[in-house]
Amino acid sequence: MTHINRRLFLGAAAGALGAGFLGRTADSQDPAKGAANLQLAPFRFDVTPPIGHSLHAGWIKPVEAVDDPLEAIGFVLLGAGKPIVLCVVDWIGLLNEAHIEWRKALAEAAGTTADRVTLHTVHQHNAPFACLEAERIVLAQGDLPHIIELDFFRKCLDAGCAAVQTALKRAVPVTHVAHGEAKVEKVASNRRILGPDGKVASQRGSSSKNPEHHRLPEGLIDPMLKTVAFFHADRKLAACHYYACHPMSYYGDGRVSADFCGLARKRRQQEEPDCTHLYFNGCGGNIGAGKYNDGSKQMRPVLTQRIYDGIVASEADLRPEPIQSLCWKTHEILPPPDPRFDLDALLQQIADRSQPVVNRNRPAFTVAWIRRYRQGIPILLSALHVNRVSLLHLPGECYVEYQLRAQAAAADRFVACAAYGDDGPWYIPTAEAYPQGGYSVNVAWCGPEVDGILTGGIKELLSGAKGCA
């Protein structure tokens, strides 16, 4: 990845949010003026897969043990029109129909509509990967491991509905918002290392034992961990933390774990049991810990400490201010599949029993996206604007450039990006990354047009903040 000074990038990137896909943008029905009627209802529920369940869509060792349980954590915000739901899950991804089903279920439990629910995953890899269409495709083969077991999937939805309904009975007034940020030391590095020809020469990954990977600079990252917290007067009710990096120290051993980002969040939660802590992965599609992480078991607590330190530091200067305005914005996009993917060839590959599991299960995700696009089912982007703070909710494994562009485009606001929403497109590179090649481009189901489409949607959402004041 070309090494660019972050501040210079932010200045240059403001102009990059240009015209894109003209999707449908919708406003909150009733933007809140002041906080007289606002309430917050936190919830959490267990989403730990059972012994024997597939991890990472069946192409790594299935569940043998649980080192630490997985959770779905969120809150319902009441008093700004229909309820608004924010939720983040300790899974790899929720894609397409699976993502929509979760949003519908949480919406029904909260008494709202699915377009007012944002749902994200943290992307830990010793965890489930949920795509219902991909599951149907592999089940039809008769010899492939599950993508996601449907009974377990439905059990999680039922638990989520029950948790939300219980939370609504315990909603408390929310009157103030605060924000802060701090630099995280020695975690993130850009995964894409370019050669002299401008092509990807090496992928640094989430871990690496290659000394050259450790020697090279971090590359383009966003080093800041951001926090947005909601208060009742001076009582902190919920704290949302945002940082862009693949959250894996090591995986593939069959031992379920929330890994270093989840463990840092859990540590902070134990310290503040009366505040609900949520961790959102930012635009970390091309970001990992490979410069600093050799994949050894000893590095998990080290990385956990570094994220935990960033969380604590980001909260150190929180200055609650009364909520004067709050509104919800949405924007639909539907980027087309990359034409290099041929549906018939993918189906033949999935049916080829001489291929390893990864070469059969993974194309099922590609087929699912192609079919979704042909059905015309869009992805929903959203943003929650509170005073001068914007929580931006994006799909898939977005490259960090999208996060930096968003911050540059709304330099007068505190913009916190959560990616890994609807993960149907998988990786979302920038247009310039496609000719550079590399793993994440090879498994990006959309073509280069996605850049203009997504950046156009980001621009619409951020410009919509002006209507909230």
Segment 76-122, tens digit of pLDDT: 999 999 999 999 999 999 999 999 999 999 999 999 999 999 999 99
* Mean pLDDT, range 439-465, rounded to an integer: 96
Confidence of residue 303 (pLDDT cuts 50, 70, 90): very high
Give the span between the Cα atoms of 99 and 103, in whole angstroms: 6
* Mean pLDDT, range 437-448, rounded to an integer: 97
Q: Reduce the DSSP state of residue 132 to 3 states and report it.
A: helix
Lowest mean pLDDT among 14-18, 123-127, 227-231, 408-412: 14-18
Largest distance between two CA atoms of the chain: 64
What per-residue confidence (pLDDT) applies to 19?
36
Contact predicate 256/48, CB 8 Å: yes
What per-residue confidence (pLDDT) applies to 283?
98
Confidence of residue 469 (pLDDT cuts 50, 70, 90): low
> Which of 273, 264, 268 lies closest to 302 in space, CA to CA?
264
> Which of 426, 420, 427, 333 lies closest to 381 in space, CA to CA?
333
What per-residue confidence (pLDDT) applies to 31?
56
pLDDT higher than threshold 50 for residue 6: no
pLDDT tens-digit series, residues 136-164:
999 999 999 999 999 999 999 999 999 99
Give the span between the Cα atoms of 188 and 205, in whole angstroms: 10
165-192: string of b/e by CB count within 10 Å (b at 16+)? bebbeebebbbbbbbbbbebeebbbbbb
Confidence of residue 400 (pLDDT cuts 50, 70, 90): very high
* Mean pLDDT, range 45-71, rounded to an integer: 97
Q: For residue 63, what are the β-bridge partners?
A: none
Cβ–Cβ contacts within 10 Å for residue 422, how many? 28
Contact predicate 445/96, CB 8 Å: no
pLDDT higher than threshold 80 for residue 260: yes
* Mean pLDDT, range 340-352, rounded to an integer: 98
> Which of 42, 115, 190 lies closest to 383 in space, CA to CA?
115
What per-residue confidence (pLDDT) applies to 354?
97
pLDDT higher than threshold 50 for residue 13: no
Confidence of residue 17 (pLDDT cuts 50, 70, 90): very low
pLDDT higher than threshold 50 for residue 11: no
What per-residue confidence (pLDDT) applies to 228?
98
Contact predicate 362/57, CB 8 Å: yes
Q: For residue 88, what are the β-bridge partners?
A: 73, 120
Give the span between the Cα atoms of 109 and 96, in whole angstroms: 20
pLDDT higher than threshold 90 for residue 387: yes
pTM reported for the whole predicted model: 0.94
Contact predicate 54/245, CB 8 Å: no
Query: Tokens at residue 446, please?
Result: 């959309």
The percentage of the chain sitting over the pLDDT mark of 90, rounded to a whole number, equals 90
What value does the mean pLDDT of the chain take? Answer: 93
pLDDT higher than threshold 70 for residue 23: no
Give the span between the Cα atoms of 192 and 233, in whole angstroms: 45
Tokens 């809140």, located at residue: 32
* Mean pLDDT, range 357-366, rounded to an integer: 97
CA-based end-to-end distance of the chain: 39
pLDDT tens-digit series, residues 121-133:
999 999 999 999 9
pLDDT higher than threshold 60 for residue 441: yes
What per-residue confidence (pLDDT) applies to 438?
96
DSSP state letter for 396: S
pLDDT tens-digit series, residues 31-47:
555 566 999 999 999 99
DSSP 7-59: HHHHHHHGGG--------EEE-SS-EESSTT-EEEEEEEE-PPPTT--SGGGT
Q: Reduce the DSSP state of residue 333 to 3 states and report it.
A: strand
pLDDT higher than threshold 70 for residue 383: yes
> Which of 136, 322, 300 lies closest to 234 in space, CA to CA?
322
Of residues 183 and 6, more confidence is placed in: 183
What per-residue confidence (pLDDT) applies to 267?
98
What per-residue confidence (pLDDT) applies to 12?
39
Q: For residue 181, what are the β-bridge partners?
A: 226
